Amino acid sequence: MESPEYVQTSTAAAMTLKLFPGRFYRGAKLKALNLLLTYSDGCKASCAYCGLSSKRVPVSSKTFIRVDWPIFATDEIIARVNMYGSSLERVCISMITHRRAYEDTLTLVRRFHEETPLAISTLISPTLMKSREMVAELKRAGADMCGIAVDCATPELFDALRGRGMGGPHRWDHYWRVVDWAVESFGRYNVSVHLIVGLGESEREMLATIQRAYDAGAEAHLFAFYPEAGSPMQEHERPSVEQYRRVQLARYLIHRNLARYEDMRFSTRGEVVDFGVSRDVLEEVIEEGKAFMTSGCRGRDGEVACNRPYGNERPSEVLRNFPFLPNEEDKALIRQHLGLA
Amino acid sequence: MELKAKQVLKVKEYEFPLDRLYYKGRNAHLWVKREGESVLIGIDAFLAESAGYLNYLSITAEKLEKGEAFANVESAKFVSKLYSPVSGEILEINQEVIENPRLINESPYEAWIVRVKPASEDVLKQEDLLSDREKLTAWIEEEIARLEEE
């Protein structure tokens, strides 16, 4: 059962397509289908935090980003998108680091483009991308947005957790080169850089990288680190919700051109102590609530489609990424997290 | 002992063996089955299916009070409190189900959660504990419609 005939789907996607039982807490609706290429010999990378890592010790539950990713036939997924996918606006086809992944991604992009009404994102593995032309071909095949999972906020962390430190194939400079290629092909802000908060970086380092991505024409899409059982980082602590809130807020200010990284001030430990805007602006942004929603590729209405409900935490926990607009109770809690209550 | 087909009510894809009572309270969907002097309490097929594959189940009360929360269940994308259908004393917790809540998804009417000594005989004679086919069918159909609207 390998791609392109088969794909892995997120638990949320499987539920939405009625392949898995279940519903979403607080009535959340999945707006983007996340699909992952799959091969019997797996991903050739060995990222320290990743559930797909070749270095992961076998565990009973093979999770990726916290949940199971069951395998289904691509034909069945496409048929069910057309039957049950009324809430869906977008599909994201994610490569893994495997020699066949690029060609198979092209095949899948073409199929979804021709056979479904969904807008298409590709989450590409830069290590497989040897030229600008390879990135451009994904656009021509039908994708309109492109994601690149840089994940780590600094070159040192990247090298330690994804590169030489883990005997892995990924290289920081090449990732950013591919970000530039993607912006050339897909256009400014139709490209995203995924970043995981809590891998060991400071808030200052994370925000410097968010600003770098934004200046390069890429949006930063945030994830909160969640330890995968059996991975080398299974004992690593999750970032505090306070840290995550500050990064979310600062990222939003950067993306809305309300502040730049250089306007912000940080403590000696690298925590944000001044967001570079007035208290009134902060209050307005918190009241609006969008800063704390999941960051991801946009849908037809220009709002985030890739909302990944409960992708970063158990539904019983404080939500890091809200898959819907936070309500008044949520916002009161957010103010507490930010020390602005 | 397996129930005969006529002793199992089927409403769409959900089955309800008629050898027990079903709690209709808000966010309920628990069954109560008499076993001698005690009763067993578990989750019905509707909640087992709509909650998704359960990963966590915890008992949060030492004693059951009717209508009060006594447990939490959680799947990958959903979490809910369980509200007790009866008042009474917890005699036994099914540790096998606590350790592997997916047993509830696999076999909701076998995977009981707690064994309880009811506070009185009357606690089982309440209007919100259903065993009547028609009332049960009407309620489950309402619940299916509510879920589809969510």
In a domain, B62, yes or no: yes
**Which of A199, A208, A168 shows the shortest CA–CA distance to A52?**
A168
Residue of A63, A316, A318 to mutate, testing the B interface (most B Cβ within 10 Å of its Cβ)? A316
Q: Amino acid letter at A263?
A: D
pTM higher than 0.80 for the full model? yes
pLDDT value of residue B125 = 85
When divided into structural domains, chain B yields a total of: 1
In a domain, B66, yes or no: yes
Tokens of B73: 């269940």
pLDDT in tens, B106-136: 999 999 999 999 999 888 888 899 999 999 9
Is ipTM beyond 0.95? no
CB contact burial A140-156 (16+ within 10 A = b; e otherwise) = ebbbbbbbbbbbbbbee
Touching A: B residues 49-68, CB under 8 Å: 49-53, 56
pLDDT value of residue B122 = 82
pLDDT value of residue B1 = 42
Residue of A314, A319, A324 to mutate, testing the B interface (most B Cβ within 10 Å of its Cβ)? A314
In a domain, B75, yes or no: yes
pLDDT in tens, A175-192: 999 999 999 999 999 999
- 8 Å CB contact of B77 and A310: yes
Model confidence at A58, in pLDDT bands (50, 70, 90)?
low
In a domain, B12, yes or no: no
Interface check for A66 against chain B (CB to CB < 8 A): the answer is yes
Interface check for A316 against chain B (CB to CB < 8 A): the answer is yes
Kindly state the percentage of chain A with pLDDT values over 90.
90
Task: Give the distance from residue B84's alpha carbon to the nearest chain A alpha carbon, in angstroms.
Answer: 20
**Residues in chain B within 8 Å Cβ distance of A28:** 77
Tokens of B8: 């199992």
In a domain, B81, yes or no: yes
Averaged pLDDT, A69-82: 96
pLDDT in tens, A136-163: 999 999 999 999 999 999 999 999 999 9
Model confidence at A59, in pLDDT bands (50, 70, 90)?
low
In a domain, B32, yes or no: yes
Domains of chain A in start order, with CATH, are 6-337 (3.20.20)
Task: Give the distance from residue B52's alpha carbon to the nearest chain A alpha carbon, in angstroms.
Answer: 3
Interface check for A324 against chain B (CB to CB < 8 A): the answer is no
pLDDT value of residue A341 = 82
Task: Give the distance from residue B98's alpha carbon to the nearest chain A alpha carbon, in angstroms.
Answer: 17
Interface check for A11 against chain B (CB to CB < 8 A): the answer is yes
CATH number at residue B78: 2.40.50.100
In a domain, B57, yes or no: yes
**Residues in chain A within 8 Å Cβ distance of B72:** 316
Q: What average pLDDT does the structure give for chain A? A: 94
Residues facing A63 on adjacent strands: A68
Q: In terms of DSSP H, where are the helices of B90-132?
A: 95-99, 102-106
In a domain, B73, yes or no: yes
pLDDT value of residue A300 = 84
To the nearest 10 degrees (0 to 180), the angle between helices A203-216 and A241-255 is 30
**Residues in chain B within 8 Å Cβ distance of A12:** 76-77
Averaged pLDDT, B93-104: 97
* Domain limits for position B82: 21-119
Q: Where in A77-118 does DSSP place strands (E)?
A: 90-94
Taking CA–CA distances from A323, the nearest residue in chain B reads: B77
**Which of A220, A227, A224 shows the shortest CA–CA distance to A197?**
A224
Residue of A18, A19, A25 to mutate, testing the B interface (most B Cβ within 10 Å of its Cβ)? A25
